[in-house]
Chain A
Amino acid sequence: MEEELEALRRRVHQLEQQLAEREAVGGAREILPAAIDDRTELLLRANEMLQEQIHERRRAIELLEESQERWRSLVQSAPDMIIHLHRDRTVGFINHTSSYSRFTPQDVTGRDVLEFVPAESAARVQRDLDRVFQQAESISHEVAVPDADGCPRWYQSHIAPIVCNGRVTGAIVVCRDITEFRRAAEELRQTQDRLVHVARVSSVGEMAAALAHELNQPLAAIANFVRGCMIRLQSDGRATPEILATLQESVDEAHRASEVIRRLRQFLQRQESRREPAVLNDLVEDALHIAEPALRRHQAKTTLTLSPDLSRVLVDRVQIIQVVLNLLLNAAEAMSDVAPDGRQIELETLRLADATVGLRITDRGPGLPSGLGARIFEPFVTTKPGGLGMGLSICRTIVEAHQGALHGETIAAPRGARFLLVFPVTESRASS
């Protein structure tokens, strides 16, 4: 029985244990789902945060790429060559090489920049680079580099140091191709030289024309005087045939001299006359352009008022530009005694009545020399020390050869001289 009881006791215990176990499991079953939920939520939030971080990262990278792309295209599409040089003068980066060069950016990158500079400029470029690296200075210079065909191209390069923590780590070189600019400047200089030459040559012709007039007058007078004497002597029989014959010879010689002058003048005129339709405004602008350096030297300021609707004139461009140039320089010279800020020249083109157009040039000088009047247009009349007095005379000769007119007057308030150039127009309108 005892054994039986013991067995029963053990069984009860067992049951109790089982019950207790069962009770414990039941409690755990209640707790577990909540724990899982908590954990899941945590994980979801962490995931969200990570997603957000990834997104932000991605955006930052995009922005960075965008910005880089912007800079890259800016640098790449810059017409100038932009080169990054290391301190050892090797090329770290180059946006592009000149289209005239036989090198590509790949050829150049990593090589000493001096390899690409012609021998005659190498020493100077090296010296300038040393100054940039050692003294952290910016330097500009012009270098000629031969293109693929061996023709020199000119570059203006600006070298600036890259400074990092007070130390020069390299340099940025910006090279601009100025070949066309230099060519244009050179062409302009040559054109100006040529123009001055043409103007001078044409002056000879116009001077001959003016001189022909001046010489023909006294020659005609001589012939008239002598013939007047001869007729008188003949009519009252006071002279011998010998004297009359000699007087006639002197008349013939005067005529011969005139003939020589006339032929010379015709010869020079035939060579020069090249008329073409032109707009007065253009001629004035051309003359102003040529006169500009001289006007600057005289500290004379110009104001230009162009009439927009001018009919064309039929002129020899060079000659008319020469006339305007002459009047402009006269105006500038006339104001040498005026305070610099009062040195004003007004140019104005005008449509005038009777199918003519005009140019009015007004200065603020002392006006036309008093007492000379219209004589200022005569040859050898001048108020300038050392002047030949042919300027205005030639101007008038040229203008009159164009069926035009040139007038000069003194004006008051503000005082000055005013010249008016008038040309007949051809039938065609400038705008048509």
Chain B
Amino acid sequence: MTATMNSTVADATVFVVDDDPALRKSLRWLMESVGLHVETFGSAADFLGAYEPGRLGCVVLDVRMPGMGGLELQERLRDCGCRMPVIVMTAYGDVPMAVRSMQAGAVHFFEKPVSDQVLLEHVQQALAADVSRHRDEAHVRHIEQLFARLTQREWQVLDRVVDGLSSREIGEALGVSFKTVEAHRAKIMRKTKADSVAHLIRMYLSLPATPKNPQTATFAATGRGA
């Protein structure tokens, strides 16, 4: 399920990647006993083939697999923008292997057999972290969509509102009447569904300042602050 702002841990999946069929099956059996949704893969390549970006969950993988190993899979996932938490397990590991896994972005490194409480706890945490990350991202995307509906004039007004100018000062700065500024402000509040100026400013500040953002484009166009 693709993440939305209302996603919960119940929408997340544990992706188990292990070359040992019995171990795969046992992990599914264990995790499903606490109500987790599990999908298993016999190799890193199988998992990469089935992976859909945007899905919620975490990856539990064995670092030692024939063909593509766990570390390489971690790198591939990172390269393709997957930010799902990764939990690495191995039948036996050493410190360098653990360090390399963690450096590659794993959130935990376990030696098998790991106590089910510990494993389930970390899996739950990883799922919660992923859900909350997705939620944050979805929230930002939602705000971006709302703000995308503002006109250039409205952005000019908004920038000055955020700067703390009064409607009168904004009117003077932009060479329009107080009433016109007030009308723009009402439209901005309506379009962004802001409850209050404080809410509006909070949303404005959560927007990433990327060049694609009209916010930045406006900065350049109006020469704000000059």
Q: Known contacts A227-B33, A231-B30, A255-B115; can you find 7 more A-B pairs with CB under 8 A?
A: A217-B22, A220-B26, A220-B113, A221-B26, A223-B116, A258-B112, A262-B111
Q: Mark B21-33, 1 if CB is under 8 A from A, else 0.
A: 0110111011111
B113, A212: Cβ atoms closer than 8 Å: no
The residue on B at minimum CB distance from A255 is B113
* A 214-245 contacts with B by CB, 8 A: 214, 216-225, 227-229, 231-232, 235
The residue on A at minimum CB distance from B113 is A220
A265 lies within 8 A of chain B by Cβ = yes
A224, B66: Cβ atoms closer than 8 Å: no
| Chain A CB within 10 Å, residue with most, of B25, B33, B111, B115 | B33
- CB of B132, distance to nearest CB on chain A (Å): 25
Cα A378 to Cα B65 in complex, Å, equals 10
Question: Which chain A residues border B116 with CB–CB below 8 Å?
Answer: 223-224, 227-228, 231, 251
Question: Which chain A residues border B81 with CB–CB below 8 Å?
Answer: none
B66, A375: Cβ atoms closer than 8 Å: yes
19 sampled A-B residue pairs with Cβ under 8 A: A209-B92, A212-B92, A213-B64, A213-B92, A216-B113, A217-B20, A219-B113, A220-B23, A220-B112, A222-B26, A224-B23, A224-B27, A225-B29, A229-B29, A231-B34, A235-B33, A258-B113, A374-B66, A400-B64
Question: Which chain B residues border A403 with CB–CB below 8 Å?
Answer: 96
A114 lies within 8 A of chain B by Cβ = no
Cα A425 to Cα B89 in complex, Å, equals 27
Known A-B contacts A223-B116, A255-B115, A258-B113; the reply to A217 vs B92 at CB < 8 A is: no
* A 143-187 contacts with B by CB, 8 A: none
Question: Which chain B residues border A265 with CB–CB below 8 Å?
Answer: 92
Question: Which chain A residues border B186 with CB–CB below 8 Å?
Answer: none
The residue on A at minimum CB distance from B110 is A220
A223, B91: Cβ atoms closer than 8 Å: no
* B 77-136 contacts with A by CB, 8 A: 91-92, 94, 96, 111-116
A254 lies within 8 A of chain B by Cβ = yes
| Chain A CB within 10 Å, residue with most, of B67, B91, B115 | B91
Cα A219 to Cα B111 in complex, Å, equals 12
A217, B64: Cβ atoms closer than 8 Å: no
B29, A217: Cβ atoms closer than 8 Å: no
B residues touching A (Cβ–Cβ < 8 Å)? 20, 22-23, 25-27, 29-34, 64, 66-67, 91-92, 94, 96, 111-116
B20, A221: Cβ atoms closer than 8 Å: yes
Cα A212 to Cα B116 in complex, Å, equals 20
Known A-B contacts A212-B91, A220-B91; the reply to A232 vs B33 at CB < 8 A is: yes
Cα A254 to Cα B114 in complex, Å, equals 11
* A 83-135 contacts with B by CB, 8 A: none
Sorting the interface of chain A by its residue count into under 10, 10 to 19, 20 to 34 or 35 or more gives: 20 to 34
Question: Which chain A residues border B22 with CB–CB below 8 Å?
Answer: 217-218, 221
- CB of B136, distance to nearest CB on chain A (Å): 31
The residue on B at minimum CB distance from A273 is B94
A residues touching B (Cβ–Cβ < 8 Å)? 209, 212-214, 216-225, 227-229, 231-232, 235, 251, 254-255, 258, 262, 265, 373-375, 377-378, 400-401, 403
| Chain B CB within 10 Å, residue with most, of A221, A251, A374, A378 | A221
Question: Which chain A residues border B25 with CB–CB below 8 Å?
Answer: 221, 225
- CB of B171, distance to nearest CB on chain A (Å): 62
B113, A377: Cβ atoms closer than 8 Å: no
The residue on B at minimum CB distance from A373 is B66
Cα A246 to Cα B171 in complex, Å, equals 79
Question: Which chain A residues border B92 with CB–CB below 8 Å?
Answer: 209, 212-213, 216, 262, 265
- CB of A10, distance to nearest CB on chain B (Å): 154
Question: Which chain B residues border A229 with CB–CB below 8 Å?
Answer: 29, 33
Question: Which chain B residues border A255 with CB–CB below 8 Å?
Answer: 113, 115
Question: Which chain B residues border A401 with CB–CB below 8 Å?
Answer: 94
Question: Which chain B residues border A375 with CB–CB below 8 Å?
Answer: 66
- CB of A249, distance to nearest CB on chain B (Å): 15
- CB of A112, distance to nearest CB on chain B (Å): 72
B23, A217: Cβ atoms closer than 8 Å: yes
Cα A225 to Cα B96 in complex, Å, equals 30
Cα A37 to Cα B23 in complex, Å, equals 131
Known A-B contacts A262-B92, A262-B111, A377-B66; the reply to A231 vs B23 at CB < 8 A is: no
- CB of A237, distance to nearest CB on chain B (Å): 14
B30, A225: Cβ atoms closer than 8 Å: yes
Cα A9 to Cα B33 in complex, Å, equals 188
Q: Which 8 A-B pairs have the closest CB atoms?
A: A374-B66, A224-B26, A220-B113, A231-B33, A228-B29, A216-B91, A221-B26, A220-B112
Cα A212 to Cα B64 in complex, Å, equals 13
The residue on A at minimum CB distance from B62 is A217
Select which of B66, B94, B113 is within 8 A of A254 by beta carbon: B113
B111, A224: Cβ atoms closer than 8 Å: no
Cα A251 to Cα B113 in complex, Å, equals 10
B67, A224: Cβ atoms closer than 8 Å: no
- CB of B85, distance to nearest CB on chain A (Å): 20
- CB of A313, distance to nearest CB on chain B (Å): 15
A224, B91: Cβ atoms closer than 8 Å: no
- CB of A236, distance to nearest CB on chain B (Å): 11
Question: Which chain B residues border A219 with CB–CB below 8 Å?
Answer: 112-113
Known A-B contacts A255-B115, A400-B64; the reply to A217 vs B33 at CB < 8 A is: no
The residue on A at minimum CB distance from B18 is A217
A221, B23: Cβ atoms closer than 8 Å: yes
Cα A213 to Cα B96 in complex, Å, equals 17
Cα A216 to Cα B31 in complex, Å, equals 19
A224, B20: Cβ atoms closer than 8 Å: no
- CB of A232, distance to nearest CB on chain B (Å): 5
